[in-house]
Amino acid sequence: MENQDKPHKRRVRYKGTHPKKYSEKYKEHDPNKYSDTVARVILKGSTPAGMHISICVKEILEFLQIKPGQTGLDATLGYGGHSLEMLKCLNHTGHLYALDVDPIELPRTRDRLEKQGYGPEILTIKQLNFLEVDKVASEAGLFDFVLADLGVSSMQIDNPKRGFSYKKEGPLDLRLNPKKGISASERLRNISEAELEGMLIENSDEPYAAKIAKAIIIENKKGKYISTTTHLQQIIKSALKFIPENEREEAVKKSCQRSFQALRIDVNEEFEVLYEFLEKLPSSLKSGGRVAILSFHSGEDRLVKKSFKRLFKEGIYSEVASEIIRPSKEECNINTRARSTKMRWAIKA
Ligand SMILES: C[S@@+](CC[C@H](N)C(=O)[O-])C[C@H]1O[C@@H](n2cnc3c(N)ncnc32)[C@H](O)[C@@H]1O
């Protein structure tokens, strides 16, 4: 009877036989109802829309050696895949704290984990920047284990409204928390050519930084401020016109990837935040406490490596990874986003 009052809501229609746009992938957005479709997409080596496939799960669990009764921190909750695996190890005794700055995905993940039986009695989720790790530790007590899986989730990259990908038309935002700070578009509006060139070099080793910075500033001077992902992509494309045609497509793709990464690092102050987190980590860990960090580009990995090495020399860590751990070939085949992952770990003295 009830249904008679409700108007029937038609699902979004798409052209052709398969949905291509993020918003049209209604089956992938509902993994509980359409588990077959989701499994098929994963098998094909893709990440279903609205999902994130956790990386190096086996390697992380092997290292963290989580036991029931322990207290841990997932500094980067994301889709909650790593949290879920860590919660299974706790076996309903102990506590997991989980942080994320993203106010859009966090409530979805909280709901998902709660539906799987992980509520506030075992899991405390906070919308907080992980640079506040010390504050969380003062509430939770020192941690037995900490995981940080840096960067962005697939849900964030795939959602065109967030502006993380040059491949999809959307506002040039790139903030992990769109309610805080300024968008990438605003940042580009008020930047000088020298600062922009420096940002592209420092954050992502962009070889055509000078040319791209110049092209963006010329566009600003014309009053054509860059407000969308595709506008920025077009500017990069025209700045690289001097590259021979047979090499241009690949070069533009790479420069787009690097430039978007550089802007993302800048608007989210990712290096400053990571540095502060690494400084505060040891005093948030118990003696014997373990930390694993997954990073996705050389700038991040350098910071982790330097911090772990220095604190090991100072006797603050008793052991640190001597080499980077990488996901297996099999994992990279299933999940192409795993290919650039570098894992490092440390144990508190
Ligand atoms: C790679 S994803 C994590 C995926 C997660 N491990 C999983 O299995 O689903 C990274 C997440 O960290 C969050 N993040 C990035 N920097 C952060 C910071 N400084 N503080 C808190 N969360 C952050 C992002 O919003 C994103 O959701």
Could you state, in order of their start, the residue ranges of all structural domains in the chain?
A: 2-43, 57-154+286-348, 177-267
- The highest-level CATH class for domain 57-154+286-348 is alpha beta
Q: Which pTM value belongs to this model? A: 0.89
What's the burial of 284, exposed, middle or buried (CB within 10 Å: 0-12/13-18/19+)?
buried
Cβ of 50 below 6 Å from ligand 1: no
3-class SS of residue 107 = helix
Burial 243-254 (b: 16+ CB within 10 A, else e): beeeeeeebbee
Digits of tens for pLDDT over the chain (349 positions)?
Answer: 444 455 566 655 656 656 666 666 666 666 666 677 666 666 666 677 778 899 999 999 999 999 999 999 999 999 999 999 999 999 999 999 999 999 999 999 999 999 999 999 999 999 999 999 999 999 999 999 999 999 999 999 999 999 999 999 999 999 999 999 999 999 999 999 999 999 999 999 999 999 999 999 999 999 999 999 999 999 999 999 999 999 999 999 999 999 999 999 999 999 999 999 999 999 999 999 999 999 999 999 999 999 999 999 999 999 999 999 999 999 999 898 899 999 999 999 9
The dihedral of CA 179, 183, 189, 192: what is its sign? positive
pLDDT at 52: 85
- How far is ligand 1, taken at its centre, from the CA of residue 248, in Å? 33
Cβ of 118 below 6 Å from ligand 1: no
Cβ of 130 below 6 Å from ligand 1: yes
Measured between alpha carbons, how far is 136 from 138 in angstroms, rounded to an integer?
Answer: 5
Q: How far from 177 is each of 30, 76, 134, CA to CA, in Å? A: 24, 13, 21
Structure confidence by residue, pLDDT tens digits, 19-53 = 666 666 666 666 666 677 666 666 666 677 778 89
pLDDT at 127: 98
57-154+286-348 and 177-267: same fold?
no
**Residue 205 annotated in ligand binding:** no
Between strands 95-100 and 71-74, the pairing is parallel
- How far is ligand 1, taken at its centre, from the CA of residue 148, in Å? 8
Q: How far from 282 is each of 70, 128, 139, 166, CA to CA, in Å? A: 17, 19, 16, 38
Cβ of 273 below 6 Å from ligand 1: yes
Classify the complex by whether its ipTM is higher than 0.90, answering yes or no.
Answer: yes
Q: Which two tokens stand for residue 196?
A: 């922009």
pLDDT at 242: 96
pLDDT at 34: 67
pLDDT at 50: 74
Measured between alpha carbons, how far is 43 from 223 in angstroms, rounded to an integer?
Answer: 47
**Residue 156 annotated in ligand binding:** yes
Which residue has its alpha carbon closest to ligand 1 atom 9?
Answer: 79
- The highest-level CATH class for domain 177-267 is mainly alpha
Cβ of 296 below 6 Å from ligand 1: no
Cβ of 149 below 6 Å from ligand 1: yes
Q: Which two tokens stand for residue 263?
A: 């802007």
